[in-house]
Chains A and B, each alone.
Chain A
Amino acid sequence: MTDAIYSNNLITFLLYFVAVAATIGLFFGLSVLVGPKKSNPTKDAAFETGWVSKTDASRPYPIKYYLVAILFVVFDIEVAFLYPWAVSFRDLGGIGLISMTLFLAVLAVGLYYAVKKRVLEWK
C-alpha cells in the first residue's frame, strides 16, 4: 500500500505542497482575518532592544568558521560514501573492512591535521 502511494512521486509532491499551502493559508488567513492591522514607523522598525539601529544588519558577516564549513563539506561527502558500505557490510567481508578502515583512517588523519593546524580555533 505504502509503496503504491510513493510510487507516484509527482502526485505525492504536488499534493504535499497543496496541503502545506492550504495549512499555512488557513493559519495566515485566519490570522489576518482576526488580528489587528495597525502599523506605525516605530513598530515596523527592527527590534534592537529599544534603540534605533545604527548599522544595517545586511552587512558582510565575518564567518570565523568558514573553514569549518569547508571541513563539513569534505566530511559530509566522505560519510556519504560510507553509507552503501555500511548497508552491504556483511556481504563485503574482510576486503570491505580493511578498505573502509583505511578510508576512516584517512578521515581521522585529516581531522587530526585540521586540529593541529588550529583551523578549529575561533580566533
Chain B
Amino acid sequence: MSDSETTVALEIKPTAYQQQLLDLLSSLHLAGIQLSDFSKTGVDFDAVANSETLPAAASALRDNGFALDCILGIDRNPGLEAVYLFRPFADGARVRIRAQVAPDRALLPTITGIYSGADWYEREVHDMFGIVFEGHSHLRPLLLPHFTNFHPLRKNFHGSPIVIPEDTVEIPEVDLQAAMKLGQTDRTHRDFFLNMGPQHPSTHGVLRILLHVEGEEVLGGRCHLGYSHRGTEKLAEKKQYVQILPYTDRMDYLAPLNYNWGYAALLERATGIESTPRAEAIRVAIGELARVSSHLVWLGTFMLDLGAITPFLFCFEDRERILTVFERATGQRMTTSYIVVGGVRNDVYDGFIQDVRDLLDYMRKRLPEYDRLVMTNEIFLQRTRGVGVITAQQARDQGVTGPVLRGSGVDFDLRRDEPYCPLYQELKWNVVVEQEGDCLARSRVRMREMDESLNLIEQALERIEEGPYRAKIPRNFKVNAGEYYSATEGPRGMVGWYLVADGSMTPYRLKVRVPSFPNLQVVESLIPHSRVADVVAILGSVDVVIPEIDR
C-alpha cells in the first residue's frame, strides 16, 4: 500500500496534538484515517489496518507511548473484525484500529511481541470469534473449556450441546509446556506441577493457576480462567438495553455501582441523554462509597492472603456499614442496579446525607487505625516490599489500569483524564501515585485512595441540590446505529464498554473491557522465579475479581 492510498477524512478541525497524531497515523500506511468526535463516540482516531500494516502500526504506537486498552472482536456477518483500542496515558486520545478478515480465512498477525498484554485479548477473541492470530505462542481457549470447537460470539452460533470428552480431567501436555514457557524453564528431575485453584483459599473467586515449582521456588505458571464464565456478552445481544443493567451488577460483585455507572455512561454517550446535576452528585457520592467498600474488601482479603485473619473481619465490619447505606438507598446490598441512564433509579432517602456523613466520620477514624496497624507492620512490609515489581513500561505494555498502574508510578486516572462526570473536574482531590511498583506501593495507593474518596464523598454531598434525580427518557429505548466506547474508573481500574448498535432496542455487540483482565495477566509475568508465598501476595495485591474477568 502506498502513501497516496492513505486517506485522511477530516470532519473536525484537529488541534496541534491531534494533528501530530494524524501525521503519525498517516505515516503508518493505514487506511481510512478519521478524526471522530470523542464526546459522541469515545474514540478520537479511526484507522483500518490489514495483516501487513497491523504489527507496524502497533509497534509505532507503542513507541509513542500508547498503551493497549483492549482488543475485541465483532462479527459483521459476513466478515469478522478485530478492533484494537490504544490510548496514551499522558494525553487523552484514543486510537481505534480495525482489521477485517473473512470468516473462512480468519487470520491476523499477533501483536503479542509488541504488546505483551495482547496475549489474553487475542486468546479471548480467538475463543469467541475464531480469529487465528498467527505467531501467538499459546493460542489455547482462555475462557472456554479447552475442548470447545465452536465460537459462541459469532452470529451464527445459537447454542449447541457441549460434549465433554472422557479425558478432560487430565491436564493436557500443552498446558504444562505453557506453564514452563513464561519462566523459560525446563523440566528438572525434582520439579513438579502444582494446581493452585480452583478450590484454593486465596484465588479470589474461582481461578486456577498451574504452577511449575521446584520446592518453594516457582519456576513459572499460567492462569486458567473461565470457571465462572456466564456469557454475559452473548446474553446482552439478546436483551434490551434496560434489561442488561442487572447483568452489570454481577460482573464485579464488589463494586456493582461502578459498573452500573459505567454502563449508564456508555448509554448516555451513545444517546446524548444527559443526567441531571442532582443525579451526578449522588453518583459521585455513592460511587466513591462503592470504591471504598471495594478497597476495604481488598485490604481484608490481602491481609488474609498474608496470613492475618483479624483485619478481614474489621474491614467487613466497615463494609457492612457502607452496604447498609446502599441497601437503604438502592434497595439492595450488592446487586444494586441503581445508576441508570439519565440519572439514578430512585431518589435517595431522607436521611441519606446524614447517614453518609456519619459514615465518613466513622471511616476517618478507622482508616488511620488501619494505616497504623497494618501498613506499618514490619512483617507486612517484609512480605510486600520489593515483591512483584511492575515497572511503568511493563504496566503500559500489559495495559494494566487502576491502582496497579498508579502503583507503578504512572499518573493516570480516568476520573481526571477522561472525564465522564463533570463533578470530578470541579471537586478538589488528588490522583494517588506511588513509584515503586511493588505490592507495598499498590497497597499504599489503595489506602490513600480511600482517603481521597472520603474527601470526594464529603464534597459531593454538598452538591446534592434540589432537582430531578433522573432525566426524562423515552420508554422504548433505542440507540442510533453506530459504535460507542466509554471508559470509567472502577475500583480496580478502567471499566470499558464498547457498544455496536444497529438502531434497534438491543445491542448488536456489547463488549466489556474489565480491569481485572490485564491486571491478572500481569501476574503471569511476575510469577517466574518467585516463591509460593509470593504468588499469593502478588495475586492479593493486584486485587482481581475473577467473575468480572470471566463475565
Interface residues of A (CB under 8 A from B): 48-57, 59-64, 122
Contact = CB atoms under 8 A, between A and B. Distances in A.
Given A49-B200, A50-B198, A54-B193, A63 B215 contact: yes
A3 B199 CA distance: 54
B19 to A, nearest CB: 53
Nearest to B197: A49
Given A52-B171, A64-B217, A59 B192 contact: yes
Given A51-B171, A54-B176, A59-B192, A64 B216 contact: yes
B169 A52 contact: yes
A9 to B, nearest CB: 41
A28 to B, nearest CB: 28
Interface residues of B, number: 22
B230 interface: no
Contacts of B199: 49-50
Given A48-B195, A50-B198, A53-B195, A62 B208 contact: no
Given A49-B198, A49-B199, A53-B195, A62 B190 contact: yes
A61 B194 CA distance: 13
A45 B316 CA distance: 35
29 contacts: A48-B194, A48-B195, A49-B196, A49-B198, A49-B200, A50-B195, A50-B197, A50-B208, A51-B169, A51-B171, A52-B171, A53-B195, A54-B171, A54-B192, A54-B195, A55-B191, A55-B192, A55-B193, A56-B192, A59-B190, A59-B191, A60-B189, A60-B190, A61-B190, A62-B217, A63-B215, A64-B215, A64-B217, A122-B216
B361 interface: no
B268 interface: no
A75 B42 CA distance: 69
Interface of B: 169-171, 176, 189-200, 203, 208, 214-217
Contacts of A55: 191-193
Contacts of B208: 49-51
Nearest to A56: B192
Nearest to B201: A49
Contacts of A52: 169-171
Nearest to B199: A50
Nearest to B198: A50
Contacts of B216: 64, 122
Nearest to B168: A52
A98 B33 CA distance: 88
A59 B192 CA distance: 8
Contacts of A50: 195, 197-200, 208
A50 B199 CA distance: 5
A64 B189 CA distance: 15
Contacts of A53: 195
Given A49-B195, A54-B195, 6 more contacts: A48-B195, A50-B200, A51-B208, A52-B170, A55-B193, A61-B215
A32 to B, nearest CB: 27
Given A62-B214, A64-B215, A57 B195 contact: no
B28 to A, nearest CB: 45
B512 to A, nearest CB: 27
B192 A57 contact: yes
A65 B353 CA distance: 59
Contacts of A122: 216
A26 to B, nearest CB: 33
A6 to B, nearest CB: 42
A63 B208 CA distance: 26
A106 B196 CA distance: 46
A61 B198 CA distance: 25
Given A50-B197, A51-B208, A53-B195, A62 B171 contact: no
Nearest to B194: A48
Contacts of B190: 59-62
A51 B195 contact: yes
A8 to B, nearest CB: 47
Contacts of B196: 49
Contacts of B192: 54-57, 59
A117 B189 CA distance: 27
Contacts of A56: 192
B382 to A, nearest CB: 14
A57 B214 CA distance: 12
Nearest to B195: A51
Contacts of A63: 215
Nearest to B196: A49
Contacts of A51: 169, 171, 195, 198, 208
B208 to A, nearest CB: 7
Closest 7 CB pairs of A and B: A50-B199, A62-B215, A55-B192, A51-B195, A60-B190, A49-B200, A54-B193
Residue among A51, A59, A61, A62 with the highest chain B CB neighbour number at 10 A: A51
Nearest to A123: B217
A64 B532 CA distance: 14
B70 to A, nearest CB: 30
B366 to A, nearest CB: 34
Contacts of B170: 52, 54
